[in-house]
């Protein structure tokens, strides 16, 4: 089936395309990716916004259930196959990784926040928090100087309450007034994000090298909280507020992450370089999100309907919201 026919069949009101048609232009340099945006290299015109779908969230959720590192599991399945996946799922994983690699966001997407584009997916986010939660005690014991007993207790409380908010967001759709719940969860997640950001600032400002493992945990928690926060505002159709919040988040990422280089950590230089690359790409993705929200708002696309259409997709892992 032609891509245009496929798009018309599934999305009569929202102009989604398949990434396949943009890959030749990316390979030649005629199209460039900035964060989650595809742009015309010559004119700078936005061609589309990269989005993960329901099938991507499902595959990544399974990866988190099966291994501490979704990236390592996906690579294993793609290279050798796995008995826990059906042949269809292995094929979907391979296609997703090929697309992510072609778009040069594979590491960012699988290791951090969904596929690092725009919509989180609450099931994936909850499992991501659970995965990080399982590492906390081990991490805290390994860096005793960084976590005193009182600090450990406070951090555990913050982590538990943040996970609880994600669970509330996941169940909000079944309420009589889901928009009200989404907005309340988003407001409380702003406080949680501020806590994790404050811990990151403290880490960066302390004397000596930054403790890499602790920093990376905090960075993921911060970005996960922000991602769910914006997701809730989109589902509540508070698109203008979500746009303003996204702009603030992007500014905060840039302000902090630009202060960090590969040599800033108490880790191997290659590990520091990989971390910095992901952080810079995450900042670029955050800067591109307000453009998506502005597009949805000005085209009068309802936020909840937009996300529902993405979550219903069960074949294509990555879609492009066409801006042309």
Query: How far is it, in rounded angstroms, from Cα 188 to Cα 198?
Result: 16
pLDDT tier at 132, thresholds 50, 70, 90? low
Terminal CA-CA length for the chain: 21
Greatest mean pLDDT among 150-159, 207-216, 237-246 lies in 237-246
**Beta pairing partners, 40:** 31
Query: How far is it, in rounded angstroms, from Cα 74 to Cα 297?
Result: 35
Query: How far is it, in rounded angstroms, from Cα 167 to Cα 48?
Result: 31
**Cα 198-200-204 angle, rounded to 5 deg:** 120
pLDDT of 2 higher than 70: no
What's the longest Cα–Cα distance across the chain? 60
Q: Does residue 114 contact residue 121 with C-beta atoms inside 8 Å?
A: yes
pLDDT digits (tens, 9 = 90+) for 35-93: 888 999 999 999 999 888 877 767 666 655 554 444 455 555 555 555 556 666 677 77
**Cα 203-250-152 angle, rounded to 5 deg:** 30
Sheet architecture: strand order including 31-34: 16-17, 318-322, 46-52, 37-40, 31-34
Query: How far is it, in rounded angstroms, from Cα 48 to Cα 38?
Result: 5
pTM value? 0.82
Instruction: Return the residue matching tokens 């892992």.
Output: 317
Q: Where are the domains of the chain?
A: 3-110+313-322, 122-304
Q: Residue 20: what pLDDT?
A: 86
Selection from 44, 6, 50, 26 nearest residue 295 by Cα = 50
């Amino acid at each position: 089936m032609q891509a245009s026919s496929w798009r018309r069949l599934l999305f009569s009101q929202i102009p989604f395309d398949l990434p396949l048609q943009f890959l030749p232009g990316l390979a030649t340099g005629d199209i460039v990716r900035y964060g989650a945006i595809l742009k015309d290299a010559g004119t700078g015109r936005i061609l589309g916004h990269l989005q993960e779908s329901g099938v991507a969230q499902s595959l990544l959720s399974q990866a988190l259930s099966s291994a501490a590192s979704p990236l390592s599991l996906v690579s294993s399945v793609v290279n050798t196959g796995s008995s826990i996946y059906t042949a269809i799922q292995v094929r979907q994983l391979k296609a997703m990784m090929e697309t992510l690699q072609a778009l040069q966001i594979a590491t960012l997407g699988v290791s951090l926040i969904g596929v690092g584009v725009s919509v989180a997916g609450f099931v994936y986010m909850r499992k991501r928090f659970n995965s990080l939660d399982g590492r906390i005690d081990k991490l805290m014991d390994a860096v005793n100087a960084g976590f005193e007993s009182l600090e450990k207790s406070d951090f555990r409380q913050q982590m538990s309450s943040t996970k609880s908010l994600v669970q509330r967001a996941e169940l909000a759709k079944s309420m009589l007034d889901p928009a009200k719940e989404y907005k309340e969860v988003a407001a409380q997640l702003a406080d949680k994000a501020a806590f994790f950001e404050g811990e990151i600032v403290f880490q960066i400002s302390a004397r000596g090298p930054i403790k890499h493992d602790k920093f990376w945990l905090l960075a993921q928690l911060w970005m996960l909280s922000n991602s769910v926060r914006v997701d809730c505002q989109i589902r509540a159709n508070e698109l203008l507020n979500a746009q303003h919040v996204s702009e603030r988040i992007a500014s905060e990422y840039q302000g902090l992450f630009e202060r960090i280089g590969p040599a800033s950590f108490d880790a191997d230089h290659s590990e520091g370089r990989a971390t910095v690359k992901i952080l810079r790409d995450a900042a670029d993705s955050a800067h591109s999100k307000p453009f998506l929200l502005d597009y949805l708002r000005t085209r009068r696309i309802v936020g909840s309907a937009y996300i529902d259409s993405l979550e219903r997709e069960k074949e294509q892992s990555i879609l492009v919201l066409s801006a042309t």
